[in-house]
Amino acid sequence: MRHARTGKKLGRDSAHRKALYANLAGALIEHGRIKTTVTKAKAVKPIAEQMITLGRRGDLHARRQATAFLRSRDVVHRLFADVAPLFKDRPGGYTRIVKIGTRPGDSAEMAYLELVDEEYVATQREERTPEPAVAEAEPEAEQPEGGQPEGGQPEAEQPEAEQPKSEDVGAEEASAGGADEGADDGDQAAADDEVQQ
């Protein structure tokens, strides 16, 4: 009797479900660890272990069976060359499911489906992780021990731009006389505008 042998349907038709299982199993073989829902992880786990068993057999017929299911020669090559030799002395139980809590969007239970071999998973993670870019810091201007720049004045006391002081403006107006006073005010206003820009 074959009661309840169909497995999870996952809300997909059979072709979509088969493609999903092939993609998830291939990603597990390629990356060593995948993050998915608990239901999908439980459905893919026996399929992934069956693929690793085919890889352990290593003959041509096993390779053709794996290619027929996984649909990618690159993944099958990695399975037979890299993954299967790691488990040559292990009689099954190549993967584990580690629950990691719920997904924020829909509260679906999430899990990591990963290979049991920690070293392989770690090396795959290192290959995927880019090295942090180290920006070379530009050397700052050397300052004497007193904390002041080489000019001798503290930075706050150095003038930003040559602006006429209010005392100088008063002295210029007084020397110019009464008739030229209006013209000097206009020239001074124009000079102030240029300095501000």
Mean pLDDT of the chain: 80
- List pLDDT tens digits, range 168-179: 555 555 555 554
- List pLDDT tens digits, range 136-176: 655 565 655 655 555 555 555 555 555 555 555 555 555 55
What is the location of CATH 3.90.1030.10 in the chain?
A: 14-128
What is the number of helices (H) and of strands (E) in the chain? 7, 3
- List pLDDT tens digits, range 183-193: 555 566 555 66
Pick from 91, 7, 92: nearest CA to 44: 7
Residue 117: what pLDDT? 84
Fold observed for domain 14-128: 50s Ribosomal Protein L17; Chain: A, (3.90.1030)
- List pLDDT tens digits, range 60-71: 999 999 999 999
Q: Is the pTM of this model over 0.75?
A: no
Which has the higher per-residue pLDDT, 123 or 189?
A: 123
